[in-house]
């Protein structure tokens, strides 16, 4: 396989244009690591950078280990090539002091910065790092305390959760995602415009009754047809739902938010099959989805407020533990470097 001339030129610039900063975007397996290692070695050989000033950060420990190994191997290889005495001396010195270069994950790099200047970075000296297992334990504890508060105080939000069809297990999964974005301070949740819910329910009731009438004539052998079973499931769900509870009604409506799946061969009357297949699709687009979109926006406002309360408990527990998680490391280091010019100069 031959490389395009522009690609070759870009690779050469990455490795040899040492006075220029680059942002490289490329798919996996296209040689990014090779180019990075070549640039690191050329920085050393040219004298533009000492091994103590090399920093290479990756997302995973595995990638960091590979990068470190390839960097060391490239230093050895280049030191044996036909180079000037000064270049060889610099490369040999780098190999002797390779442990002074930072090659690791972004999180470990941020941890290194914070530990070197903890006071200026606003962290406790000797802070400990919270791993993923401990962080999940803190999340679980925070969620349980949050629920205990709601139940012990007979909080009206429990009634609201029931009316909105919200289950605690689903909300716990939302919290696990919510706390992963501590840098997001504003979660906009303006209430949507009201809708005529009675009108939507009337449309659904009418359609369900038509489904009930049609489904009584369905054959028992249906082949691969899905629409007949879907009709029967919707009728059963409608009979069991408490239409006065919004959560029940919209749970029922979610059964309409799928493709019909009708196959003509399973129906006694193919003309009816075509009509019902099209009707189901039209109802989904004209009634079900607009109503569900409103419902999701309507619940979002309440859910965000719940999650913000639960996250405040999580933040309190995490702070009491005296540890910093991966997100803390990134945010604290970034904030310190952004707001303190002296730290930027030092590092």
Q: Residue 114 in contact with residue 64, Cβ under 8 Å?
A: no
Domain residues for 101? 5-128+336-346
Q: Which of 334, 280, 335 is nearest to 107 (CA)?
A: 334
* Mean pLDDT computed over 36-49: 95
Residue 328 lies in a domain: no
DSSP conformational letter for 4: P
> How many folded domains does the chain comprise?
2
Query: Can you tell me the distance from the alpha carbon of 245 to that of 254, in angstroms, rounded to the nearest whole number?
Result: 15
Task: Label residues 222-239 b or e (16+ Cβ within 10 Å = b).
Answer: eeebebbebbeebbebbe
Q: Tell me, what's the pLDDT at 5?
A: 58
Same domain, 20 and 156: no
Same domain, 250 and 212: yes
Is the confidence at residue 54, as pLDDT, over 50? yes
What's the token pair of residue 134? 């401990």
Residue 329 lies in a domain: no
Same domain, 83 and 150: no
Same domain, 40 and 117: yes
Residue 63: helix, strand or coil by DSSP?
A: helix
Same domain, 141 and 53: no
Q: Tell me, what's the pLDDT at 260?
A: 64
What's the token pair of residue 200? 């939507």
Same domain, 90 and 235: no
Q: Tell me, what's the pLDDT at 316?
A: 93
Is the confidence at residue 2, as pLDDT, over 50? no
Tokens 């930072």 -> residue = 102
Q: Residue 249 in contact with residue 291, Cβ under 8 Å?
A: no
Q: Tell me, what's the pLDDT at 267?
A: 83
Residue 331 lies in a domain: no
Same domain, 51 and 76: yes
Residue 99 lies in a domain: yes
Same domain, 89 and 145: no
Q: Tell me, what's the pLDDT at 1?
A: 37
pTM: 0.69
* Mean pLDDT computed over 210-229: 86
Q: Residues 281-319: pLDDT tens digits?
A: 999 999 999 999 999 999 998 999 899 999 999 999 998
Model confidence at 273, pLDDT cuts 50, 70, 90, reads confident
Q: CATH code at 98?
A: 3.40.50.300
* Mean pLDDT computed over 202-227: 89
Residue 267 lies in a domain: yes
Residue 326 lies in a domain: no
- Continuous H helices in 52-196: 61-79, 85-96, 106-116, 118-121, 132-152, 156-163, 168-178
Same domain, 151 and 281: yes
Residue 341 lies in a domain: yes
Residue 84 burial (C-beta neighbours within 10 Å; 0-12, 13-18, 19+): exposed
Same domain, 17 and 154: no
Is the confidence at residue 346, as pLDDT, over 90? no
Same domain, 121 and 137: no
**End-to-end Cα spacing for the chain:** 42
* Mean pLDDT computed over 152-157: 90
Query: Can you tell me the distance from the alpha carbon of 216 to that of 128, in angstroms, rounded to the nearest whole number?
Result: 66
Same domain, 141 and 258: yes
* Mean pLDDT computed over 246-267: 85
Q: Tell me, what's the pLDDT at 4?
A: 57
Pairing of the two strands 128-129 and 55-58? unpaired
Residues 6 or more apart from 68 whose CB is under 8 A from it? Answer: 103
Residue 51 lies in a domain: yes
């Amino acid at each position: 396989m031959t490389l395009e001339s522009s690609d070759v030129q870009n690779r050469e610039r990455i490795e040899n244009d040492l006075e220029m900063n680059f942002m490289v975007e490329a798919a996996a397996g296209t040689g990014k690591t090779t180019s990075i290692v070549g640039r690191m070695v050329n920085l050393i050989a040219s004298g533009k950078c000492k091994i103590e000033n090399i920093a290479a950060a990756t997302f995973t420990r595995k990638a960091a280990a590979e990068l470190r190994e390839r960097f060391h191997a490239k230093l050895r290889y280049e030191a044996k090539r036909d180079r000037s005495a000064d270049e060889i001396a610099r490369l040999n010195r780098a190999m002797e002091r390779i442990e002074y270069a930072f090659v690791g994950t972004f999180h470990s790099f941020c941890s290194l910065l914070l530990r070197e200047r903890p006071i200026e970075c606003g962290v406790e000296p000797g802070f400990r790092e919270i791993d993923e297992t401990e962080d999940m334990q803190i999340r679980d504890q925070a969620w349980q305390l949050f629920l205990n508060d709601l139940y012990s105080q007979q909080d009206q939000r429990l009634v609201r959760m029931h009316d909105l069809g919200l289950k605690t297990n689903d909300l716990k999964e939302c919290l696990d995602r919510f706390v992963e974005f501590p840098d997001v301070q504003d979660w906009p949740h303006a209430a949507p415009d009201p809708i005529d819910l009675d009108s939507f329910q009337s449309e659904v009731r009418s359609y369900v009754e038509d489904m009930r009438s049609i489904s009584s004539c369905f054959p028992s052998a249906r082949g691969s047809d899905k629409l007949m079973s879907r009709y029967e499931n919707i009728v059963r769900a409608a009979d069991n739902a408490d239409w006065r509870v919004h959560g029940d009604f919209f749970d029922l409506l979610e059964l309409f938010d799928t493709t019909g799946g009708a196959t003509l061969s399973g129906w006694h009357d193919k003309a009816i099959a075509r009509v019902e297949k099209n009707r189901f699709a039209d109802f989904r687009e004209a009634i079900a989805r607009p109503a569900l979109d409103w419902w999701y926006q309507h619940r979002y406002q309440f859910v965000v407020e719940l999650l913000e309360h639960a996250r405040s408990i999580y933040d309190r527990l995490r702070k009491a533990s005296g540890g910093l998680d991966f997100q803390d490391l990134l945010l604290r280091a970034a904030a310190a470097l952004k707001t303190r010019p002296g730290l930027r100069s030092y590092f």
